Amino acid sequence: MRTITLTSLREKIFSIFDEVSETGKPVFVKRKGHLIKIDLVTPQSRTERLFEQPFKKDAINGDPEELIDYKAWEWNEKI
């Protein structure tokens, strides 16, 4: 774990970001008694984003069993 001051970050910001990008190791910046982490974020795939969505139990309005034999091309007007 590498910790630097904010002044040091200002002086070497580009090289510090390059270092984090190349090594994958985070750098911590100390500011007013707190540590701020500079780290890589790996982008999520579409599948990962899909599975993070909450499951909606009420997505089907009605009985789901009626959809098993449903044929969209045989439309009947029901009033």
- Which sequence spans correspond to the domains of the chain? 1-40
Cα separation, 50 vs 43, in Å, equals 13
Contact indicator for 5, 30 with CB cutoff of 8 Å: yes
The pLDDT of residue 64 is 78
Q: pTM score, two decimals?
A: 0.55
- Residue 29 has which token pair? 């910046």
Cα separation, 70 vs 58, in Å, equals 19
The pLDDT of residue 79 is 52
Per-residue pLDDT of the chain (79 residues; tens, 9 = 90+): 799 999 999 999 999 999 999 999 999 999 999 999 999 998 888 888 888 877 777 777 778 787 787 777 777 777 5
CATH class of 1-40: alpha beta
